[in-house]
Amino acid sequence: MHYEYRTSGVCSVQINIDVTDSTIDNVEFIRGCAGNTSGISRLVKGMSLDEVIDKLQGTTCGQRPTSCPDQLSKALLEIKAQMEIE
């Protein structure tokens, strides 16, 4: 399933996520720090939603209360909630 998440408080503006069952197939950040976001995308491919949420939730960026990894964890929490409803 394909999901699009609009970010808040970070340089990236959107995260596109492809998930099968509870496993991440692909993550694409729109804008943001290209090296960091492509690295995150490669690292999380094949991981479970819960594993990524546990590792990335609460990560900050400098003085910001959130970060691109934290925004990814928020997106994955929304995906989990949607999957439970379906």
Report the CATH number at residue 18.
Answer: 3.30.390
Report pLDDT for 2: 97
Q: What is the DSSP letter of 48?
A: B
Tell me what the mean pLDDT of segment 62-71 comes to.
Answer: 97
Domain count, the chain: 1
User: What is the residue range of 63's domain?
Assistant: 2-85
pLDDT by residue (tens digit) across 6-51?
999 999 999 999 999 999 999 999 999 999 999 999 999 999 999 9
Q: What is the DSSP letter of 61?
A: B
Report pLDDT for 13: 98
Tell me what the mean pLDDT of segment 59-80 comes to.
Answer: 97
Report pLDDT for 9: 97
| pTM metric for this prediction | 0.96
